[in-house]
Chains A and B, each alone.
Chain A
Amino acid sequence: MPVYFLRRVLAAIPVMLVVAVFVFLLLRLTPGDPAAIIAGDMATPDQLDRIRTTLGLNDPLHVQFVHWIGQLMRGDFGTSLISNQPVIHLVGDRMWPTIWIALITITLSVAVAVPMGVMAAWRHGSWIDHLVMTFSVLGFSIPVFVIGYLLIMVFAIDLKLLPVQGYIAPTKDFAGFLQRAILPAVTLSSIYIALIARMTRASLLDVLGEDYVRTARAKGLTEGRVLFRHALRNAAVPVMTVIGTGFALLISGVVVTESVFNIPGLGRLTVDSIFARDYPVIQALILLTAGIYVFVNLLIDLSYSFLDPRIRY
């Protein structure tokens, strides 16, 4: 297992390198002068020169690349062109709200969706099954902003139980954080609950037809033991995949929800910096997103070999 882990981490290096090359070229291969793109329409030749020198644009391409990678290694992602703050601080600040919301969302989704899926598969064809499937269709088809605004209307405006918008770090005030995080998390989880419940149900239905489930029943085990000890673990691998990719998606793509709930997270930072053509920030965000995907995939693969002893790498 440690060997496998090491090998996987090593295999991530070329992946990240390819991403780095892409990010590097993003700016250099854009038609026209990158300095002019960065400086905008109103730049003076003097400003352009200064930008070229700071970015090292006068050097050959490979020298620029090595230099750039060296900077990244030292944690220097450059300076935001808009706010003049170091990019690493900017992204670091925005990362935590997104990660916290993602964690809560995925935990909530798994806690609700897996039992739903198990019940639906166990009582296949019954009203429970139909209810779960109906809910899952709704979860897929109602857009997040509709759910988000509906929840705000009911719980924040009408019932006044929760604040409308905003974000407080859990390390500062955990209760305050929960109060503000619960609505965005519920909003985001609707689609994940739908997805994970469906996946659990489908995967478990397959497994329930297997011979070893019949063997477990023939041993005189209770239905609970048959379902949770024998069937669920065998059904877990595809469910795990959905949960993992779901988590990665949550970190990189929750723009709408962050806007609706006014959360200062990565999604909004991405949109803002794209509109502002803040290239250093965009580069850092792409690298971060790629890194998160690689890391989450590694975790998913490791979970496979933990769930199923037949999977050994």
Chain B
Amino acid sequence: MPVLEIEDLRVAIDRKDGNEVLRGVSLTIEAGETVCLVGESGSGKSVSSLATMGLLPKGALKVTGGRILLDGENLLDLSAAQLRECRATRMSMIFQEPMTALNPVLKVGDQIREVLEAHTKMSNAEAHAKVLDILDQVGLPDIERMMRSYPHQLSGGQRQRIMIAMALILEPRLLIADEPTTALDVTTQKQILKLIKDLQKQHGTAVLFITHDMGVVAEIADRVYVMNRGEMVETGPLMQILSAPAEAYTRQLLSAVPSLVPRQARPVSRRNVALEITDLDKIYGGGGFLSKTRTTHAAKGVSLELKAGRTLGIVGESGSGKSTVARCVMRLIDPTSGGIRVGGQQISGLSRRGLHPYRKKLQMVFQDPYRSLNPRLTIEESVIEGPVNYGMPQAQARAKAAELLELVGLPAAAARRYPHMFSGGQRQRIAIARALAMEPDLLVADEAVSALDVSVQAQVLHLLAEIQDRTHIAILFITHDLRVAAQICDEVAVMRQGEVVEYGPTAGVLGAPKHDYTRALLAAAPGRDWDFPNFRPVAA
């Protein structure tokens, strides 16, 4: 008998005549098996898992049909109390954001022990021993101290290990992992994936792994289910899905995955240097009035050069200093020392007022399109704000906004709408239009496509390349995603702990890395052995 069997599950918006968000989804998982549920945002993969756990947001979504059988028992027939008893004992779930999934005001040891208190009658000593045992199993160091830590004292990877410990302490039959490694660095991701795999083998747990990342799928799945817009599109063993997908949607999804094989740099068309960074240093913290904080050397002697019409990538893991460099270039923060020249003009020493004429030349596109647009301003107001601030007449600015919106592929009617009426990809297009409205020489894109689905990501990257072709704008592209960097950058700089460890043409750095760290990063990239767009292993 399968551990989990979902039959014809239907979920709808909890309203009279509410739209269906899941339309007859079926899925089975056997003991010891890892099943990947893949799909883009809005496909219904998270809704399926939350429905299984009985955690659908109350008053927003409700199950309207089908059955969810856990070891043959229909979870939809259980009372609230019975269902509560199942959670953590027979089925557990871990979530995407380890940063927010743990309660910030409780010690992590207490948060794990709480599971035991809720479901067992263990004595204090037994519970203590059991918590220590599971912390040891998830590979955490110094477990006695770890138990007494608060979440903010731990790294993202450690927090996700705590989440896994919490989920597996009562050895449930089913573990649902909803994008558990998406927010982690690649090297940490690799460790967490291995940990889940190891624990699964030890305990024979069935794992339902939800992800949008085909690389991760290639690493861990036994079988794959592909979802799109609330429906199950295709299912099959991993190799069959990767090498011979039957459905057009699956093919499209795989084709959108950027290849790790770097593209060749474009020929240099223009000689003028758009951005020159020399020996940039940034130290955070230090002595404040009445307080002393630890100093962090976030950028150490960074020197980079970017010519007009080219794209320079800065890649690295969190804490590598890549965003610090971007913010120094934008002068959102002040560099501690070193030079930043934009179009030949030294801007690193300029005052706020002195910087004003050059601000126009530097524009930025931020990571999260859901938070980088002011929700109270219409799209047009957002786009024209910069030019008008620099003295462009309203009417002219509006005409220009209309032009730009067309350039980024949005309908003219978009101008009078508000950000919440657009999808993530559309919002990022708007953010690009807003940046271009200033006619900058340099565009800084800080993880600008990281929050987007692969197909949307491909479109936005295509748009950036097209704009670059037309306007010869220089792009400084900050990303943690080596696949994206390999496809969009002419040159790439790899950063670690504030230092540039390797810098050169993308084909060289990512194709034949010289530095150990670059090699480690590439080795950790999930699915590196598979050439997704061509449905075959990477040619050796």
Contacts and interface: CB of A to CB of B under 8 A. Distances in A.
B454 interface: no
Contacts of A124: 59
Nearest to A124: B59
Given A215-B163, A234-B105, A220 B291 contact: no
Could you say which of A214, A219, A225 has the most chain B C-beta atoms within 10 Å of its C-beta?
A219
Given A7-B290, A211-B97, A220 B102 contact: no
Contacts of A7: 290
Nearest to A233: B105
Contact of A211 (B86, B95, B105, B119): B95
A172 interface: no
B86 to A, nearest CB: 7
A309 interface: yes
B95 A310 contact: no
A272 B533 CA distance: 86
Interface residues of B, number: 30
Given A310-B150, A310-B152, A214 B55 contact: yes
A221 interface: yes
A210 B100 contact: yes
B265 to A, nearest CB: 42
A218 interface: yes
A220 B290 CA distance: 45
Contacts of B305: none
A230 B103 contact: yes
B104 A225 contact: no
Nearest to B115: A219
A5 interface: no
Contacts of B118: 219-222, 225
Given A219-B87, A220-B88, A233-B105, A214 B95 contact: yes
A230 B102 CA distance: 10
Interface string A185-226: 000000000000000000000000011101111111110010
A124 to B, nearest CB: 8
A225 B104 CA distance: 16
B106 interface: yes
Contacts of B53: 218
Interface residues of A, number: 26
Contacts of B290: 7, 11
Nearest to A236: B105
B6 to A, nearest CB: 18
Contacts of A11: 290
Contacts of A221: 84, 114, 118
Interface string B100-142: 1111111000000011001100000000000000000000000
Contacts of B105: 233-234, 307-310
Contacts of A140: none
A125 interface: yes
Contacts, number: 74
A313 interface: yes
A230 B151 CA distance: 14
Contacts of A222: 84, 118
Contact of B84 (A125, A220, A310): A220
B92 interface: yes
A13 to B, nearest CB: 13
A216 B88 CA distance: 10
A219 B115 CA distance: 6
A218 B88 contact: yes
B85 interface: yes
Contact of B86 (A210, A220, A308): A220
Contact of A125 (B55, B59, B101, B163): B59
A125 B150 CA distance: 34
Given A211-B95, A313-B291, A216 B115 contact: no
A211 to B, nearest CB: 4
A225 B440 CA distance: 54
Given A7-B290, A310-B150, A219 B101 contact: no
Contacts of A210: 100
Contacts of A309: 104-105, 150, 152
Interface string B478-490: 0000000000000
Nearest to B80: A223
A308 B166 CA distance: 22
A309 B108 CA distance: 12
Contacts of B93: 218
Contacts of B114: 219, 221, 225, 229
A312 B86 CA distance: 38
B95 A220 contact: no
A234 B103 contact: yes
B518 interface: no
Nearest to A207: B103
Contacts of A220: 84-89, 115, 118-119
Nearest to B58: A124
B101 A212 contact: yes
A219 B89 CA distance: 9
Contacts of A219: 87-88, 114-115, 118, 166
A221 B101 CA distance: 15
A7 B87 CA distance: 47
Nearest to B85: A220
Interface string B506-527: 0000000000000000000000
A164 to B, nearest CB: 47
Given A211-B100, A214-B95, A218-B93, 14 more contacts: A7-B290, A210-B100, A211-B95, A214-B55, A214-B101, A215-B166, A217-B55, A218-B55, A219-B87, A219-B114, A219-B166, A221-B118, A233-B105, A307-B105
24 contacts: A125-B59, A211-B95, A211-B101, A214-B55, A214-B101, A215-B163, A215-B166, A218-B53, A218-B92, A219-B87, A219-B118, A219-B166, A220-B84, A220-B86, A220-B88, A221-B84, A222-B84, A225-B114, A225-B118, A229-B114, A234-B103, A308-B105, A309-B152, A313-B291
Interface of B: 53, 55, 59, 84-89, 92-93, 95, 97, 100-106, 114-115, 118-119, 150, 152, 163, 166, 290-291
Closest 4 CB pairs of A and B: A220-B87, A211-B100, A212-B103, A220-B88
